[in-house]
Amino acid sequence: MVETSFFHIDDEQKLAFSQVIGGKNRRMFPGVVFLSGLKSDKEGTKAVFLSQWAEKNERDFLRFDYRGHGASSGTFEDTSITDWLDDTIRIVMGLTSGPQILVGSSLGGWISLLFARMFPQKVAGVIGISAAPDFTAQYASNKLTSDQRQELLSTGKLSFYSEYFDQPLVITKKLIEDGNKNLVLTKKQNIKCPVRLFHGSCDEDVPLSTSIDILKRISSIDVQLQIIKGIDHRFSTPDCLKLIQKAVEQVPLPY
């Protein structure tokens, strides 16, 4: 079992992480970094599965919690896309060497694209699992009900029931405004690494059109999208996990 450690951003902020350091052949293969979804953490099914795969195959692997998530410091409602991207930049640059394969689930898919755009030399490939870039755009004022607009105006946040969480999912005005400053589907993105996208046909949280938009917007010519029939947003069945593993193993070497 890989233990949890903490990466200190400053005296008050720290990120929980678990890391596998590969064996003697580690320099032959890119490392793998898992970026989790909104209000998820590094102990999710996909992250733990890849950690176990990395141990067995002696591959470098990093999983961590953004601020306001899991065992990291901070409060979810006080953080936003820019904060979580900054967390990713700091911990990936601080704890990994050489190019990395970014495996982004839902929100993590958005963060992966932002990171790949900023640091192309650090990214060997991107694997998006039910990737959810630009999800804050759905909370634009003209897309909200009058009651939701009033709630956002009076409280600075929106609350939604979600089957994934015991408590209502809170989307803050800060998250909406910050997210809408980090959109990637509004124009062509200079991302040239291999990209593999997975999307379940029964995903009720992120529309399939989002993955199609990613395919259209990024400049890479090495992009593949697989639509898996009967699978929901979790994308965590044994067969789905095997698909993710295969995609990681088949990302072309950057050397």
Domains and CATH numbers, the chain: 5-134+183-249 (3.40.50.1820), 137-182 (no CATH)
Q: Where does the pLDDT of residue 11 fall: very low under 50, low under 70, confident under 90, or very high at 90 and above? A: confident
**Hey, CA dihedral for 169, 174, 177, 182, is it positive or negative?**
negative
| Separation between Cα atoms, residue 95 and residue 122, nearest integer Å | 12
Identify any residues that bridge with 32 across adjacent strands, giving them in sequence order: 61, 101
Cα angle: 81, vertex 85, 88; to 5 degrees: 145
Q: 150: buried, middle or exposed (CB in 10 Å: 19+, 13-18, 0-12)?
A: exposed
Residue type, 86: D
Least confident of 30-39, 130-139, 160-169: 160-169
Tell me whether residue 203 is one of the annotated catalytic residues. Answer: yes
Tell me whether residue 72 is one of the annotated catalytic residues. Answer: no
> Tokens at residue 113, please?
């694209």
Pick the catalytic residue from 40, 105, 106, 211: 106
- Look at the block and give the residue holding tokens 């589907």: 185
Three-state DSSP at 150 gives helix
| Separation between Cα atoms, residue 169 and residue 184, nearest integer Å | 23
Per-residue pLDDT tens digits for 89-141: 999 999 999 999 999 999 999 999 999 999 999 999 999 999 999 999 999 88
DSSP codes joined into one string, 42-88: TTSHHHHHHHHHHHHHT--EEEE--TTSTTSSS-GGG--HHHHHHHH
- pLDDT recorded at residue 28: 81
Tell me whether residue 199 is one of the annotated catalytic residues. Answer: no
- pLDDT recorded at residue 54: 96
Pick the catalytic residue from 36, 40, 203, 211: 203
Question: Cα–chain-centroid distance for residue 92?
Answer: 13
**Residue of 162 and 210 predicted with greater confidence:** 210
Q: Where does the pLDDT of residue 252 fall: very low under 50, low under 70, confident under 90, or very high at 90 and above? A: confident
Pick the catalytic residue from 40, 134, 178, 233: 233
CB contact set of 238 (below 8 Å; sequence gap of 6+): none
| Separation between Cα atoms, residue 44 and residue 244, nearest integer Å | 14
Percent of the chain's residues with pLDDT above 90: 88
Q: % helix / strand / coil in the chain, to the nearest 5?
A: 40, 20, 40
Contact (CB, 8 A) for 46 and 54? no
